[in-house]
């Protein structure tokens, strides 16, 4: 199969309270509420889109808020975390900002050669901020008080939790054209090494 996958377009999740979600992603993380629509399969449910100033593909996270819904639980066969790329040296800013907003986070750790800070959003979704030295410093949200030098620049990746890696590995490599990195448990988009 010939593929032309260039990157992650967006990540979508289900959460509970819409206002709590808006406040966290716009006020705490500094993303822009790019658009608010309805879920086309359930027009009584909002669909909230957050991203950079221009709403570029690769910066977007979206949510379907279902107030009073049953809280999900982590398990196999799902995305268990998603990560945002931030500029090198940004994590001290994020530690201070998260502390000021009473958001629990782990101390930054070196993971696969990049400083990474982990936190949970109000709905319990695991988010990682990963420092990347060669970001294009795209259009961060100009209405946010997060400085450009620390602003989220887009999606970095997702973590899949699977019971058996072989079938997922074959699909990522053979069907989607991803390339393996180091330990055979990390995958990258094949074209990513030539793109900026």
Please name each of the domains of the chain with its CATH number: 10-163 (3.10.180.10)
Mean pLDDT is lowest, of 32-36, 65-69, 82-86, 133-137, for 133-137
Higher pLDDT, 6 or 47: 47
Question: pLDDT digit string (tens) for 33-48?
Answer: 999 998 888 888 899 9
Question: Please, how many CA atoms are within 13 Å of residue 16, restricted to the half-sphere of its CB?
Answer: 10
Higher pLDDT, 70 or 112: 112
Question: pLDDT digit string (tens) for 48-80?
Answer: 999 998 899 989 999 999 888 777 777 888 888
Torsion of CA 177, 162, 125, 59, to 10 degrees: 0
CB proximity list for 193: less than 8 A, separation 6 or greater:
none
Higher pLDDT, 22 or 171: 22
pLDDT for the residue numbered 192 = 46
Tell me the pTM.
Answer: 0.87
pLDDT for the residue numbered 180 = 84
Mean pLDDT is lowest, of 8-12, 96-100, 122-126, for 8-12
CB proximity list for 77: less than 8 A, separation 6 or greater:
161, 162, 163
Torsion of CA 131, 150, 126, 41, to 10 degrees: -120
Report CA-CA distances (Å) from 159 to 101, 155, 191: 26, 12, 20
pLDDT surpasses 50 at 97: yes
Q: Is 25 helix (H, G, I), strand (E, B) or coil?
A: helix
pLDDT for the residue numbered 125 = 93
């Amino acid at each position: 199969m010939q593929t032309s996958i260039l990157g992650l377009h967006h990540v979508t999740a289900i959460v509970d309270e819409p206002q709590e979600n808006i406040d966290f992603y716009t006020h705490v993380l500094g993303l822009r509420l790019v658009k608010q629509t309805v879920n086309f399969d359930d027009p009584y449910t909002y669909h909230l889109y957050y991203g950079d100033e221009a709403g570029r593909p690769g910066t977007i996270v979206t949510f379907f808020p279902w107030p009073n819904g049953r809280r999900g639980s982590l398990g196999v066969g799902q995305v268990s975390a998603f990560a945002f790329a931030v500029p090198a040296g940004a994590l001290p800013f994020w530690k201070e900002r998260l502390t000021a907003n009473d958001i629990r986070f782990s101390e930054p750790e070196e993971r696969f050669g990049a400083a990474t800070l982990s936190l949970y959003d109000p709905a319990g979704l695991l988010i990682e901020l990963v420092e990347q030295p060669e970001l294009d410093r795209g259009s961060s949200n100009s209405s946010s008080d997060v400085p450009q030098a620390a602003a989220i620049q887009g999606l970095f990746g997702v973590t899949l939790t699977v019971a058996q890696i072989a079938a997922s590995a074959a699909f990522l490599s053979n069907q989607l054209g991803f390339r393996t990195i180091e330990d055979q448990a990390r995958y990258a988009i094949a074209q990513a090494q030539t793109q900026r």
